[in-house]
């Protein structure tokens, strides 16, 4: 039996791709609010394309407004599907590993049409694959996805297309 490396090949491949500068600009200038904790480093960056789902509900003032419900997106690496992103928020890799996180910091997107950039703290891990050791997730480089304003009928839904990069951070080895 051969000894296999303890770090998943996926994470190593992503780190090499990030250092080579391939793919999307994950090293964009980050607002202070979403900068990673000092003891963590970026281990993977995945591009996502999908939709932010909104529901028409009564707001605090009883007026009907679009209220965020959940994301539905495909996670991509070099244009190939390698996972999905959905309510929780949850990121699930095709190797069965997954993380669930909670928002700890928010900063505005580049335009009012873009959903905010986020820093999220991982609260739950499943599986032992590529996402197993992640501690923080950053949502950066958002394009689209924002839906605001009034709506006409409670209980109706709207899918607003969006794209973003998710940076997964953990302890460097």
Helix (H, G, I), strand (E, B) or coil at 6: coil
pTM here is 0.82
* pLDDT tens, residue by residue, 126-166: 999 999 999 999 999 999 999 988 899 999 999 999 999 99
3-state secondary structure of 14: helix
Task: Count the Cβ atoms, other than its own, within 10 Å of residue 54.
Answer: 22
Residues with Cβ within 8 Å of 36's Cβ and at least 6 positions away in sequence, in order, are 42, 119, 136, 138, 167, 169
Three-state DSSP at 97 gives coil
The answer to whether 39 and 171 are in contact (CB under 8 A) is: yes
Summarised one tens digit per residue, pLDDT across range 41-93 is: 999 999 999 999 999 999 889 999 999 999 999 999 999 999 999 999 999 99
């Amino acid at each position: 039996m051969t000894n296999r490396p303890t770090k998943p090949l996926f994470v190593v491949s992503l780190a090499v791709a990030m250092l080579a500068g391939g793919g999307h600009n994950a090293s964009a200038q980050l607002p202070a609010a979403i900068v990673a904790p000092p003891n963590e480093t970026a281990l993977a960056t995945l591009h996502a394309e999908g939709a932010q789902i909104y529901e028409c509900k009564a707001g605090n003032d009883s007026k009907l407004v679009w209220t965020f419900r959940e994301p539905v997106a495909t996670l991509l690496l070099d244009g190939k599907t390698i996972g999905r992103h959905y309510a929780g928020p949850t990121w699930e890799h095709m190797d069965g590993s997954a993380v669930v996180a909670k928002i700890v910091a928010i900063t505005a997107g580049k335009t009012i049409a873009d959903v905010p950039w986020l820093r999220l703290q991982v609260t739950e891990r499943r599986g032992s694959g590529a996402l197993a050791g992640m501690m923080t997730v950053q949502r950066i480089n958002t394009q689209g996805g924002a839906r605001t304003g009034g709506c006409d009928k409670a209980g109706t839904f709207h899918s607003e297309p969006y794209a973003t990069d998710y940076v997964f951070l953990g302890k460097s080895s």
